[in-house]
Structure 1
Amino acid sequence: MSVNTHAKKKKKSNPFNCFLNGVERVGNKLPHPVTIFILLSLLIIIISEIVYKSGIHVNFYDAKTGTKQTIQAVSLLNAKGLQYIINSATTNFTSFAPLGTVLVAMLGVGVADGTGLLTTAIKKLVQSTPKRLVTAVVVFAGIMSNVASDAGYVVLIPLGAMIFYSFGRHPIAGLAAAFAGVSGGFSANLLIGSTDPLLAGITNEALTAGGIDYSILPTSNYYFMVASTFLLTILGTLITEKIVEPRLGEYKKIKDEHNDIEQTTEKEKKGLRAAGIALLFFIIIMGIMIVPQNAILRGEDGTLDEFMHNGLIFVILLFFMIPGLAYGIVSGTIKSDKDVVNVMGKAMSSMGGYLVLVFFAAQFINYFSYTNLGTILAVSGADFLKNIGFTGLPLIIAFILLAAFINLFIGSASAKWGIMAPVFIPMLYNLGFTPEFTQLAYRIADSSTNIISPLMSYFAMVIVFAQKYDDNMKIGTLISTMLPYSILYLICWSILLIIWYILGLPIGPGASIWL
């Protein structure tokens, strides 16, 4: 149950804090997020008609599909548009990507939480982890989670809040730290994730379309992204502890299931051991099904692409459910199958507000896509930057800023890159920059502004997670909380790029900055 315990923020004369407070005030004067999405949907309907009547169109080569396209605005304010609005409302909702991801994963998390496993595990973490390392661990775990695609959004963001809460710290600060790692640091990692081959494939399509005999590997940005992982972990930790947490002020702790930090009982210890053993067996079985070249979950081509895109979320459900069941049976919190169903039902009931918000958010995002307004904005911006005559490092910085701005309107990294790569890959190639470096600059921009865009698919979900600890959480509060991460990530990540540029360091195995 949500409780309004958001403490009064400390008054600061710091200009940056005044700016953030202003952003929050303006944002929170807006109506409820559901109402905002309804109003934005109506606005898109009107704008689409105006742009359509104006005859505005753009020509571009889409590297994602490998086709030349002429795109013009599609109106929603005519017979065909009204048919789309009515006929697509249900499928817009049911096909909204985060919906199934969140609900399926929450079934497993609900078992682990409802049986007491998460509470006990976090309690153990509180007793054994140095307090000064908690923030860095949460941010780093968030960054590393992008190996598992979108799983970090569903799992780590609420866990970040729970961990901070259990340490006696503001849970919204923990949620923000995890969100900054998962979403703001989406491109960085110590491992090669699903984003690397996806973007590299689009880059290679853009090279082919431009008649350039050159190709890049998924590892082409690896060295820089490893360094970025450490940079963003340090930045995320400092921003959380020096800016976000002091601004949030004290959190009035309410005694509930996530606030018991007493010593673990003997039953809880036995439950944890049973959960650990069950989890170990599960990991071994999954390893057998994944690791060998002929493993059962690999596709006919020997890759894990299908599993990573479609099967991983179900595995996450089992990852939490199996040890949760083991813990509940041994500790005595589960006595029958009815108890299991009840904790699952409780987890689903807590997502009611999310379902309402997602319905209207899905309509707006799909209207934006259907009308082609996002594509027109992206192509027009790319053409403008191409024609203003920038060269060298200033052009790279301008490109990063443009991509970061466009990211506020088009959430998909691959969709944006499919539009921008055919313009900027050949352009910067002709100026002497490698495609690997251009792709790297794009990735910095794409990640940095994810966390302040209401159009980002999981933004609505993060608001719902935050409302568990502050039922007055609104879009303005979340954006003002995340804005320091977005600004400083963009600035400091770009500075790292400039240092790399000046020193001429390799950005990946066999990949340099200049041709």
Structure 2
Amino acid sequence: MTTRPAKPSFFMSFLNKIEYWGNKLPDPVMIFIGLCIITIIASALLSAMDVTAFNPVTKETVHVINLLTIDGLTQMITKATTNFTQFPALGVVLVVMFGIGVAEHSGYFRAVMIATVEKAPIKLIMPVLILVAMLGTVAGDASQIVVPPLAAMIFVRLGYHPIAGLVMAYAAALGAFAANTIIGMADALALSFTEASLKTINVDIPVNIAMNWYFMTASMFLLLFVILFVTQKIIIPRLGEYTPEHQEEAVNDLTIIEKKGLKWANLSLLTILVAITVLAIPESSFLRNPESGSLIDGPLIQGVAIVIAIIFFIPGFIYAAITKKARNSKDIVEMMNRSMAGMSSFIVIVFFSAQMIALFAWSNLGLIIAIKGASLLENQNGFTLIIGFIIITSIINIFIGSASAKWALLAPIFVPMFLFLGYHPAFTQAIYRVGDSITNPITPMMAYLPLLLSFAKKYDKNMGLGTLISNLFPYSLALGIVWTLFVLIWYWFGLPVGPGGPIFLEQKYF
């Protein structure tokens, strides 16, 4: 008698469908190419239908511009290169990566993570691991790749199931991806598309890379406790005891030379931070705006890309020199080259998304969608808007893993839409980043999930993707509930989300 396989549970069936249909989606680049084609055709059809909208900013009626004309096609061809090269914050992202690349590829970030965990008291091991995973996201792939296997090994030492350590670190790095006290790559990427979306409606509102810093810093400490609670109360009891099939490898301790390099690299980092702080204090500081004396619109924030690059470059360089990871200048340049190579996918996405954003602007489609969408939502209260936007973003995130690809798609619509409802772009961006983060752990579209599965199979050779995601789902659920409530509370108190990032627009912008 043949035993029929057990029918998958509703939850597993749901996950299987997400994985199946998610794998059917084309690459984000192809999505943008398709959107460009759709935008061109839509501009012709809607122009012929004489679709219009009243712009509350300029007090003028906006018409759809037909791009499927000789002039439109000429503009697409002649402006394609400048659309790309003049894309806002593209330079910021690439400059920041020079410094981060040296710090990452020299091994400095890895050394910091290992040393931090080694020195933490037993009771603080889990919180420290979570904190390191969250802070480590500023280093690009370092946190998602290094911290989960490190956490698994440490959990074995503590007597817990190693899979619990894997999923905890992975959820901390990706589920709370936007929450960080350090301004880095994620902030630069988000800013680039937010700023570009403002240009589509010709509204000059100052935005900066640090405009979500207050909210994201507070979020980091809140979410640390959420992840810790889920791990201790749900994941560890659910996985139970672990009996290793063989002796586990110990976490590799830092060598004497690596500890020496880390010491001097950290000292250089502290020196840089103190120097910047001291230089920024005087009202006459060259880091401040010479007229207003403000830091927000002064050289420090306006040139923050080079500042961040230096903050990461110098410790990375010192660590590489002391540990002999770089024996000459060519090795340092090679680290920067490897960093730029890792940005190739972002650069390709930016090229095509820049064309789409330009087409939206030229055709006025983005502006009209925003105006009409705002008119439909104008009677909705802020709480409904916030919850709805987070839910929409989190669902889209399951199918499109790239944060930059999603925001390039959503920013031209939602930034203007919320703008017309009176919300500052900084607040809209902050809401998006919440929705973009909470479903990261459970999406099959995330490139790190297969890597996590390979780590898990080291401890359980029968580990499947469904089992792995089922242990990650409680984190996404808890983060989604708590972080959304936190946004609503922040909104209720009317607190700015960062420097130069109020919730509501000032009257002078209209």
Task: Mark the CA change 1:380 to 1:507 in structure 2 (over 3 Å): closer, same or farther.
Answer: closer
1:287 corresponds to which residue? 277
**Structure 1 Cα separation of the partners of residues 180 and 477 of structure 2:** 15
Structure 2 counterpart of 1:96, one-letter code: F
1:162 aligns with 2:146: yes
- Describe how 1:429-468 pairs up with structure 2 within 5 A: 445-451=431-437
RMSD of Structure 2 on Structure 1 (CA): 5.1
Q: Which secondary structure does the structure 1 equivalent of 2:284 belong to?
A: coil
Task: Mark the CA change 1:30 to 1:284 in structure 2 (over 3 Å): closer, same or farther.
Answer: same
Give unmatched runs, 5+ long, in structure 2: 1-5, 153-162, 195-211, 240-248, 397-405, 455-465, 497-501, 503-510
**Structure 2 Cα separation of the partners of residues 354 and 442 of structure 1:** 22
Q: Deviations for 1:148-201, whole angstroms, at most 9, x for unmatched residues? A: xxxx7x536643443234334788975664444343x599x9xxx999xxx9xx
Asked if structure 2 preserves the Cα contact closer than 8 Å seen for 1:57 and 1:70, the reply is: yes
Residue 398 of structure 1: which of 384, 404, 409 is its match?
384
Asked if structure 1 preserves the Cα contact closer than 8 Å seen for 2:64 and 2:364, the reply is: yes
1:43 aligns with 2:45: no
Q: Deviations for 1:310-358, whole angstroms, at most 9, x for unmatched residues? A: 3112112111211112112222222222222222222223333443333
Task: Mark the CA change 1:313 to 1:163 in structure 2 (over 3 Å): closer, same or farther.
Answer: farther
Q: Which secondary structure does the structure 1 equivalent of 2:56 belong to?
A: strand
**Structure 2 Cα separation of the partners of residues 378 and 405 of structure 1:** 19
**Structure 2 Cα separation of the partners of residues 440 and 278 of structure 1:** 32
1:53 aligns with 2:45: no
Please report how far the alpha carbon of residue 424 of structure 1 lies from its aligned counterpart in structure 2 after TM superposition: 5.8
What is the TM-score of this pair, normalised by structure 1? 0.63
1:26 corresponds to which residue? 21
Q: Which secondary structure does the structure 2 equivalent of 1:329 belong to?
A: helix
**Structure 2 Cα separation of the partners of residues 182 and 312 of structure 1:** 21
Task: Mark the CA change 1:236 to 1:34 in structure 2 (over 3 Å): closer, same or farther.
Answer: farther
Asked if structure 1 preserves the Cα contact closer than 8 Å seen for 2:43 and 2:64, the reply is: yes
Task: Mark the CA change 1:298 to 1:358 in structure 2 (over 3 Å): closer, same or farther.
Answer: same
1:340 corresponds to which residue? 332
Q: Which secondary structure does the structure 2 equivalent of 1:167 belong to?
A: helix
1:127 aligns with 2:118: yes
Asked if structure 1 preserves the Cα contact closer than 8 Å seen for 2:134 and 2:172, the reply is: no
- Describe how 1:320-335 pairs up with structure 2 within 5 A: 320-335=312-327
What is the TM-score of this pair, normalised by structure 2? 0.64
Q: Which secondary structure does the structure 1 equivalent of 2:68 belong to?
A: coil
Q: Which secondary structure does the structure 2 equivalent of 1:449 belong to?
A: helix
**Structure 2 Cα separation of the partners of residues 124 and 37 of structure 1:** 43
Asked if structure 1 preserves the Cα contact closer than 8 Å seen for 2:127 and 2:224, the reply is: no
Please report how far the alpha carbon of residue 25 of structure 1 lies from its aligned counterpart in structure 2 after TM superposition: 1.9
**Structure 1 Cα separation of the partners of residues 82 and 305 of structure 2:** 21
2:507 corresponds to which residue? none
Asked if structure 2 preserves the Cα contact closer than 8 Å seen for 1:224 and 1:507, the reply is: no
Asked if structure 1 preserves the Cα contact closer than 8 Å seen for 2:65 and 2:362, the reply is: yes
**Structure 2 Cα separation of the partners of residues 48 and 484 of structure 1:** 44
**Structure 1 Cα separation of the partners of residues 264 and 71 of structure 2:** 58
2:369 corresponds to which residue? 377
Q: Which secondary structure does the structure 1 equivalent of 2:340 belong to?
A: helix
Asked if structure 2 preserves the Cα contact closer than 8 Å seen for 1:115 and 1:334, the reply is: yes
Task: Mark the CA change 1:93 to 1:368 in structure 2 (over 3 Å): closer, same or farther.
Answer: same
Task: Mark the CA change 1:340 to 1:465 in structure 2 (over 3 Å): closer, same or farther.
Answer: farther
1:299 corresponds to which residue? 289
1:213 corresponds to which residue? none
Structure 1 counterpart of 2:266, one-letter code: G
2:131 corresponds to which residue? 137
Residue 106 of structure 1: which of 97, 103, 116 is its match?
97
**Structure 1 Cα separation of the partners of residues 431 and 352 of structure 2:** 27
Structure 1 counterpart of 2:370, one-letter code: A
Asked if structure 1 preserves the Cα contact closer than 8 Å seen for 2:370 and 2:413, the reply is: no
Q: Which secondary structure does the structure 1 equivalent of 2:54 belong to?
A: strand
Residue 61 of structure 2: which of 54, 64, 70 is its match?
70
Please report how far the alpha carbon of residue 98 of structure 1 lies from its aligned counterpart in structure 2 after TM superposition: 5.2
Asked if structure 2 preserves the Cα contact closer than 8 Å seen for 1:115 and 1:328, the reply is: yes
2:459 corresponds to which residue? none
Q: Which secondary structure does the structure 2 equivalent of 1:293 belong to?
A: coil
Q: Which moved more, 1:487-496 or 1:261-270?
A: 487-496
Structure 2 counterpart of 1:132, one-letter code: M
Q: Deviations for 1:89-121, whole angstroms, at most 9, x for unmatched residues? A: 222222334532332222212222332222322
Residue 359 of structure 2: which of 356, 359, 367 is its match?
367
1:430 corresponds to which residue? none
